[in-house]
Amino acid sequence: MTFNFESQRALFPILAKKAQLSSCSQSALSMPVAQAITDYTTGWLERGMDWAGWMETVHAAKAEFARLIHAEAKDIFVMSCVSDIASSIGSSMEFTAEKNGIVVGEIDFPSLGHVWLAHERKGAAVQFVKADDNHCIDLQSYQSAIDDRTCLVSVSHVSYYNGFIQDIRAIADIAHKHDALMFVDAYQSVGALQIDVVRDRIDVLACGAQKFLLGCPGIAFAYIRPELANTLRPSNTGWFGRVNPFAFDIRALDYAPGAPRFDTGTPPMVNAYAVRAGMQLLNSLGMDKVAPYLAHLSSVALQEVKRLGLRCASPDNPAIKASNTAVYVSDSLGVEYKMAQAGFIVSARNDVIRIAPHFYNTEEEVVMALRELAHHAG
């Protein structure tokens, strides 16, 4: 497949020296993102403060995120991480004897399980859907777990561990059949896959910034279906969740209409500058071009893994595997260090090394990284 991102690749200085293939953990830093951070600090140095400009950038970042998932900016809210978003949603829910089930995929990132378990003291009953020996969950397992007592289904769109892609529309259909909400952790998919929250009937979708969105840690975005938002009253709240934050009325707990009711305290401004620039770059390229290229790199990785005889933890079917290719190793942290010494930035997780390219990576980098990994896999 032709590499069509040569000019954009030049925006990532580290690629002149190393192959950064760690987008499942932290993407490479681009010059536009670095400049955006400088713009924030320069404004701070020269103007002392710029609340209007800072908030304008936060709103602009919401709009860029909305564009990536085919939503509207008014239906996006911002917090510091996906765990905070899930906690806020959980805080707004009532759990009754008839409707208290939370169904969680066993392949979800652990912090989500922790968040939902924390609500058991409020009456929630958490049920984990087991993964198979290949760290995947079939649709029938969700079908069996979700029933009329279920109030929320928590799903990772793409597994952080091995890149397994779940059919979020099909799971949403099952959830809605039982009048349950569909919560999607899209940390590993927004910026890598084409997503349409309206088409897929998603109630809440959450994503942080530092992976495929090309930003930095400390900020996360959430979409909430507008009809749902106004029915919820989060107890995890703050002054930006009010109808008029600048009324400074300490006695008034009024909730802003729509997604802004989930905003809490002062947004992470500098992080918004960074990720806005990253998402602008993605949107300028178009996910209709980025996603197919990443699917191609995924197939290239699977072919090379097979040729090298490596033990792969990822699905061998490219149709259900995202950019992340996970390979079993005996000492993942040690191997990650050795790979970095050899010029390949990859990501250790439990018993695997994850190779997760972005659009700026080439086929050759993926192949050469796997060949280097073959020397250390053990």
What whole-number distance in Å separates Cα of residue 265 and Cα of residue 272? 14
> What pLDDT score does 240 carry?
95
Residue 227's region, left for phi above 0, alpha for psi from -120 to 50, else beta, is alpha
Sort strands 325-328 and 344-345 into parallel, antiparallel or unpaired. unpaired
pTM, whole model, 2 decimals?
A: 0.96
User: Where do the domains of the chain lie, and which CATH numbers do they carry?
Assistant: 6-30+286-374 (3.90.1150.10), 40-282 (3.40.640.10)
Q: What is the CA radius of gyration of the chain?
A: 21
Q: Is 238 exposed, middle or buried (0-12, 13-18, 19+ CB in 10 A)?
A: middle
Residues 6+ apart with CB under 8 A from 10: none
State both tokens at 306.
Answer: 């097979």
Nearest to 218 by CA among 226, 210, 228: 210
**Per-residue pLDDT in tens (0 to 9) along the chain, 378 residues:** 788 999 999 999 999 999 999 999 999 999 999 999 999 999 999 999 999 999 999 999 999 999 999 999 999 999 999 999 999 999 999 999 999 999 999 999 999 999 999 999 999 999 999 999 999 999 999 999 999 999 999 999 999 999 999 999 999 999 999 999 999 999 999 999 999 999 999 999 999 999 999 999 999 999 999 999 999 999 999 999 999 999 999 999 999 999 999 999 999 999 999 999 999 999 999 999 999 999 999 999 999 999 999 999 999 999 999 999 999 999 999 999 999 999 999 999 999 999 999 999 999 999 999 999 999 987
- What separation, in Å, do the N-terminal and C-terminal C-alpha atoms of the chain show? 32
